Amino acid sequence: MVGYVPRGASRHIFSMRKANDREQERLAAHFKSDLARVDAHVVSPKEYRELPQLTSEMLARAKVKKGGRPRSSNPRKLISLRLPADVIARWKATGPGWQTRMAERLSKAR
Hey, where are the domains in the chain? Answer: 2-61, 78-110
Residue 66 has pLDDT above 80, yes or no: no
Give the residue from 27, 53, 49 showing the smallest Cα distance to 38.
Answer: 27
Task: Give the span between the Cα atoms of 49 and 54, in whole angstroms.
Answer: 12
Question: What are the φ/ψ torsions at residue 11 (nearest 5 degrees)?
Answer: -125, 135
Query: Tell me: the pLDDT tens digits for 27-59?
Result: 777 767 676 777 788 888 888 778 788 888 888
pLDDT computed for residue 38 by the predictor: 75
Task: Give the span between the Cα atoms of 12 and 52, in whole angstroms.
Answer: 14
Task: Give the span between the Cα atoms of 102 and 93, in whole angstroms.
Answer: 12
Distance set, CA 13 to CA 54, 60, 63, 94 (Å): 10, 12, 9, 41
Residue 4 has pLDDT above 70, yes or no: no
Task: Give the span between the Cα atoms of 99 and 96, in whole angstroms.
Answer: 8
